[in-house]
Chains A and B, each alone.
Chain A
Amino acid sequence: MIQFDNVSKRYPGGHEALSGVSFHIEPGEMAFLTGHSGAGKSSLLKLIALIERSSRGQVFVDGQNLSRLKGRHIPHLRRKIGIVFQSHNLLFDRTVFDNVALPLIIAGYHQSEVGRRVRAALDKVGLLNRDKAYPITLSGGEQQRVGIARAVVNRPPLLLADEPTGNLDPELSREIMGLFEEFNRVGVSVLIATHDHDLISRLDHRLLTLSGGRLARDGRTDELAASA
């Protein structure tokens, strides 16, 4: 699903955020991406969604070579990727329903289909009764779940999350992770960037650890608990 071949990312000014990173995430796999702040987690996610392009090496998403993807095809790549942001990135002038419906409207779905899918997605994150609420009236955890509903409403084959539990208490964080595992169970590939070691050490998934822009370790989460 995601393949990095010796990928480096150097920013103007010379800072190298990633250097020589290679890994492969299979379709349907769930993996965590961890590392200290500035280790390159965000840069790595940005390369997958083509928010930035790699300086060297090649990134493949769903078999597509991103370095060859032209600018006008970027929207179509992004429709295959559901992205969950730490800051939720909701539109505060619209209802929960309209926020979740946005990816479907962008993709040109029919009105009736939009309603059906939005309700299904909200149902999955347990917010079906809040569809007419405005995001500002929701708690942090609820906002994050709206963000997740929006990311999955289009049924993308790949789900990316950047610190999805960053602002949440441990119990809510576990809930959110449970949601990701559920989506993974129905075949969605999931990659979650997080520094919440307590949380991921309780889950059994693949763990990629970045350090100083390099892939320091590629193993399982239970090994992390053992080594800690």
Chain B
Amino acid sequence: MKRNTRKPRARAVEMETRSRPAQKPRGKINAYFTHHLWVLVSSLGQLWRTPFSTLMTTAVIGIALALPAGLHVLLSNVQQLSSGWEDSAQVSLFIKQGVPEKRIQSLAEKLRDWDGVAEVRYISREQALAEFRELSGFGDALDSLAENPLPAVLVLRPTLTQAEPVPMEQLLERLRRLDAVDQAQLDMEWVRRLNGIIEVGKRGALLLGALLAMAILLVVGNTIRLTIYARREEIIITKLIGATNAFIRRPFLYTGFWYGLMGAIVAWLLVTVFLGLLSIPVSQLSSLYDSQFRLGGLAFITSLSLLLSGVFLGLVGSWLAVGRHLQAIEPT
């Protein structure tokens, strides 16, 4: 800028020294991070000043995140439970009626030497009846029967290496050809079916998650849109005094960040509380089944991805709103 010649020389010199940019580059970068930190904190302060609407938005995001996350945790639990059962796959050999007990005992001895058979347990007709009476609660009904209707059973536990599907089929085929055997049944089908159902459930949880993620984008986007219009004056004024779009965008992006983070924390709390409420009846139930199964909580990695997806959705939602609505606000 040229000095006006009418001005006293001393003034011109003073102006020269004062208007020179006094900032070092490092100071600028420092100031940049300080500013980011400041916006981060002040956007949280803005949310704090409107606790009711903040709470509403956060709760909506929290519930929307908690649904798929909770479903995922439950399904993972069921899967873990059933994978324990898969190891204990067993074959029940139902012995034909009238085969004498001695022959069954020797058959059991013979089967113990077979490849792929780890263990054979003999359940006599009397034992089967006693077990059934105890577990089913139909004891009185059984008393009215003249004869024990239950067959004797040999329970085979295949060795683990033999638990692959194909050798298992071969083993079953050989067992079925035995004279004394009425029926050989692999007690694992239902585990596979359950796994199939769990897979369907997991896919469903994923789709539900995608749907709810979109809902979160809309909720955050709409909230940010309202904030933008509420602060329209401020945006115009800051634009007039030289704010870049990035500067104006920043507080709204951080607001989205906070919404996402707080929503994810709410979701985490919801899931944790729900699992906590479920864990006592579940462990009671599993003790009824003589199982050591305990309901697993949110794993660290699941918690982390929950938080990250919350933050991500908050940021994207606000980015979409800001991109769409900020350009429209220009000073006139």
* A residues whose Cβ falls under 8 Å from a Cβ of B: 1, 26-29, 49, 51-52, 62, 72, 75-79, 83, 89-91, 102-103, 105-111, 113, 150, 154-155, 157, 185-187
CB contacts (< 8 Å) of B2 on chain A: these are: 26-28
CB contacts (< 8 Å) of A110 on chain B: these are: 23, 27-28, 30-31, 34
Contact of A106 among B4, B234, B247 (CB under 8 A): B247
In the complex the two chains form, is A91's CB within 8 Å of B237's CB? yes
Which B24-43 residues have a C-beta within 8 angstroms of A?
27-28, 30-32, 34-35
CB contacts (< 8 Å) of A154 on chain B: these are: 242
Q: A27-B2, A75-B247 are in contact. List 15 more A-B contacts (CB 8 A).
A: A27-B4, A28-B7, A78-B240, A83-B240, A106-B247, A108-B31, A110-B23, A110-B30, A150-B241, A157-B1, A185-B7, A186-B14, A187-B4, A187-B11, A187-B15
Nearest CB in chain A: distance from B27 CB, A: 5
Nearest CB in chain B: distance from A78 CB, A: 4
Distance between Cα atoms of A29 and B15 in the complex (Å): 15
* B residues whose Cβ falls under 8 Å from a Cβ of A: 1-4, 6-7, 11-12, 14-15, 18-19, 22-23, 27-28, 30-32, 34-35, 233-234, 237-245, 247, 330-332
Contact of A109 among B1, B31, B238 (CB under 8 A): B31
Nearest CB in chain A: distance from B41 CB, A: 14
CB contacts (< 8 Å) of B18 on chain A: these are: 155
Who on chain A is nearest to B16 by CB?
A187
Contact of A105 among B7, B11, B35, B330 (CB under 8 A): B35
Contact of A78 among B6, B11, B241 (CB under 8 A): B241
In the complex the two chains form, is B241's CB within 8 Å of A103's CB? yes
CB contacts (< 8 Å) of B31 on chain A: these are: 108-111
CB contacts (< 8 Å) of B245 on chain A: these are: 72, 75
CB contacts (< 8 Å) of B247 on chain A: these are: 75, 106
Distance between Cα atoms of A111 and B35 in the complex (Å): 9
In the complex the two chains form, is B234's CB within 8 Å of A91's CB? yes
Q: List 25 A-B contacts (CB under 8 A).
A: A1-B1, A27-B1, A28-B2, A28-B3, A29-B4, A49-B240, A52-B332, A75-B239, A75-B244, A79-B241, A83-B240, A83-B241, A89-B233, A102-B241, A105-B35, A106-B241, A106-B242, A108-B32, A108-B35, A111-B31, A157-B1, A186-B7, A186-B11, A187-B1, A187-B11
Distance between Cα atoms of A26 and B3 in the complex (Å): 9
Contact of B12 among A77, A113, A187 (CB under 8 A): A187
In the complex the two chains form, is B242's CB within 8 Å of A103's CB? yes
Distance between Cα atoms of A186 and B28 in the complex (Å): 27
CB contacts (< 8 Å) of A62 on chain B: these are: 1
Distance between Cα atoms of A87 and B133 in the complex (Å): 91
Nearest CB in chain A: distance from B138 CB, A: 75
In the complex the two chains form, is A75's CB within 8 Å of B243's CB? yes
In the complex the two chains form, is B12's CB within 8 Å of A76's CB? no
Distance between Cα atoms of A107 and B28 in the complex (Å): 9
Distance between Cα atoms of A1 and B1 in the complex (Å): 8
Distance between Cα atoms of A75 and B244 in the complex (Å): 5
Decide yes or no: A28 and B34 within 8 Å by CB, A75-B242, A106-B241, A155-B19 being known contacts: no
CB contacts (< 8 Å) of B244 on chain A: these are: 72, 75, 106
CB contacts (< 8 Å) of A26 on chain B: these are: 2, 4
Who on chain B is nearest to A158 by CB?
B1
Nearest CB in chain A: distance from B251 CB, A: 12
Distance between Cα atoms of A95 and B14 in the complex (Å): 30
Nearest CB in chain B: distance from A168 CB, A: 20
